[in-house]
Chains A and B, each alone.
Chain A
Amino acid sequence: MAHQIELRSEDYLQYCVKTQPSENRHTIWSRLYAACRRLSQAVREDRVADAVVEIASNFMACEEIAIVKCNPEIGFLATVGISFEQRRSLISNSGRVSEELRRRNVRIVDPKVAGDEFLASLGITALVSLTHDHAIKGAIVFFGLLPQHAGFESGDRELLGLFSIYLGPCLFGL
């Protein structure tokens, strides 16, 4: 898995070479390159959860994150910056959160969008389902962003997509 992710990082590096730094895509490719390199390193060190938190904090301006397993009850694999109330709300809403995970692999929550009200009410800003062997095993739950950031950027969705593809097997399959 580490090698697979590293090969992906090489692809992103090539995209960076072919794109001008002045283009927005260059920033996205650069972040994806670094995130893949970091994740492949983390897989080798068996510290994937730490790497996810680090990537999200540095590239997505989010420092309130929970990485959870869904059995279907929610259990915490790693958290950073989340409050007791946020933990409690996830646990007490395990069933509903698990249902929401089945709707889409990557979810950026918009309180103005119909269907996102429940997640928004919990203070969740993004949700990534983590699958392995065709089953949802867990999720990465993002809460508040740092104050100087209004919301997730377009490139963040791609980073979340990366998490969705690789982290299920990394966290639940190895």
Chain B
Amino acid sequence: MSPKILIVDDSDTTLLMEEMLLKKQNFQVVKAHNGREAVEVAIRELPNLILMDVVMPVMDGFAACREMRRHDKLQSVPIIMISSRGEPQSIESGFESGCNDYLTKPIRSHEFLQIVDSYLAAEKAE
């Protein structure tokens, strides 16, 4: 079974690009449009990797990350924040909330897929 990746963003534009890139690499993709929905989907689907936007309505990415880390089954799932907010304090907040890595938008195909592969390979090795 191919790895399952949860992509989270309030922007359909970004979700369209990420979903296409991941499905072309034969990953399973599940989606959420805000942090609250992301937590619910993550608990239900138990993805191998989570790619999450930061600025979202209802619940932002940092809060969702903290919430996910409180769940036993999600504590070790790699979470990569993907945001247009590339300021050092934003990145620091991401790591403080429990994420594993941080990518700045606009995403680039190669960099995006490289980081996905690196975290899935690490997870497989464990």
User: Please, which residue of chain B has its CB at the minimum distance from the CB of A156?
Assistant: B106
Q: How many residues of B contact A (CB 8 A)?
A: 20
B73 at the interface (CB under 8 A from A): no
B20 CB contact (under 8 Å) in A22, A34, A57 = A34
Chain A contact residues, majority secondary structure: helix
Assembly CA distance A41 to B16 (angstroms): 11
Q: Which residues of B contact A58 (CB under 8 A)?
A: 11, 13-14, 84, 105-106
User: Please, which residue of chain B has its CB at the minimum distance from the CB of A22?
Assistant: B110
Q: Is the CB of A61 within 8 A of B11?
A: no
Q: Is the CB of A38 within 8 A of B21?
A: no
User: Please, which residue of chain B has its CB at the minimum distance from the CB of A42?
Assistant: B12
Question: Scoring A residues 38 to 74 as 1 if CB is less than 8 Å from chain B, else 0, what string do you get?
Answer: 1001000000000100110111110100000000000
4 tightest A-B contacts by CB?
Answer: A34-B17, A34-B16, A148-B86, A21-B109
Q: A33-B20, A61-B84, A148-B87 are in contact. List 16 more A-B contacts (CB 8 A).
A: A17-B24, A21-B109, A21-B110, A27-B107, A33-B17, A34-B14, A34-B17, A34-B20, A37-B16, A38-B13, A38-B16, A41-B12, A57-B84, A59-B105, A146-B86, A147-B87
